[in-house]
């Protein structure tokens, strides 16, 4: 039998019971972004690494407010959330060069939510032939990068400025300057 070691999970496995309260509310109140795995703080949402990731770079976009569904969010907050999704996608592509990215949200325990009551959107980088089959076949996940390394890799990319920014409630794409189009040729006949 082969063994795969993931020492960062020991605290979770050995804990008699999880700490009281919401993990996301604790993270956003924390002053130590590295310890709480917070990568970026926006006005209404923040980006955080998943403490028990499915793959390298697995992160989440989470509202600062304790809300159970996006339907409870203000339109401006939803715009910021999607702006952060784009920013996170760009950071993941630059840092890890994935061949795909799963985006997903599980609302409620029966939908698969591990943390209920505080909605969040997952971004999970994927590669052809990645090891996610291990979860199904061997109840094991293979994560070759430590969370601290992922935090150091992604934080500067998420805070460097996005190609798409949420500003004043509107999503404004940064576009390259327009080139002048040549005048149409006239045919004389």
Q: What is the pLDDT of residue 55?
A: 86
Please state the domain count of the chain.
1
**Cβ neighbours of residue 50 under 8 Å, at least 6 residues apart?**
58, 59, 60, 122
pLDDT of 1 > 70? The answer is no
Whole-model pTM?
0.69
Q: Is residue 174 part of a domain?
A: no
- Kindly report the CATH number assigned to the domain that includes residue 27: 3.30.428.10
Task: Give the residue numbers annotated as catalytic, written as ranges.
Answer: 120
The verdict on residue 119 lying in a domain is yes
Least confident of 79-93, 148-162, 171-185: 171-185
Q: How confident is the model at residue 34 (pLDDT cuts 50, 70, 90)?
A: very high
State how far the alpha carbon of 111 is from the alpha carbons of 55, 106, 107, 116, 119, in Å.
Answer: 21, 5, 6, 10, 12
Is residue 126, in this structure, part of any structural domain at all?
yes
Identify whether 31 is part of a domain.
yes
What's the confidence (pLDDT) of residue 170?
A: 43
The domain in which residue 42 lies consists of: 19-162
Contact 62, 120 (CB under 8 A): yes
pLDDT at residue 174, rounded to an integer: 46
In a domain, 9, yes or no: no
Residue 19 has pLDDT above 90, yes or no: no
Task: Pick the most confident of 148-152, 157-161, 166-170.
Answer: 148-152
Per-residue pLDDT of 42-57, as tens digits, reads 999 999 999 988 888 9
Query: What DSSP designation does 111 have?
Result: G
Specify if 182 maps to a domain. no
In a domain, 97, yes or no: yes
The answer to whether residue 180 scores a pLDDT higher than 70 is: no
Query: With contact defined as beta carbons under 8 Å apart, do 124 and 141 qualify?
Result: no
180, part of any domain: no
């Amino acid at each position: 039998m082969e063994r795969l070691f993931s020492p960062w999970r020991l605290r979770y496995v050995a804990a008699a019971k999880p700490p009281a309260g919401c993990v996301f509310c604790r993270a956003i109140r924390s002053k130590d972004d590295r310890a709480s795995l917070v990568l970026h703080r926006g006005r209404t949402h923040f980006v955080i690494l998943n403490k028990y990731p499915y793959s390298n770079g697995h992160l989440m976009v989470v509202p600062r407010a304790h809300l159970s569904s996006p339907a409870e969010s203000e339109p401006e907050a939803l715009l910021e959330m999607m702006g952060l999704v784009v920013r996170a996608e760009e950071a993941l592509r630059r840092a890890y060069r994935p061949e795909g990215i799963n985006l997903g949200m599980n609302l409620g325990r029966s939908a698969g939510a591990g943390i209920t009551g505080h909605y969040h959107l997952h971004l999970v980088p994927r590669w052809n032939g990645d090891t996610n089959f291990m979860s199904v076949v061997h109840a094991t996940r293979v994560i070759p990068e430590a969370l601290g390394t992922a935090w150091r890799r992604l934080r500067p990319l998420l805070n460097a400025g996005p190609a798409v920014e949420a500003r004043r409630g509107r999503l404004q794409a940064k576009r390259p300057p327009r080139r002048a189009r040549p005048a149409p040729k006239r045919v004389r006949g």
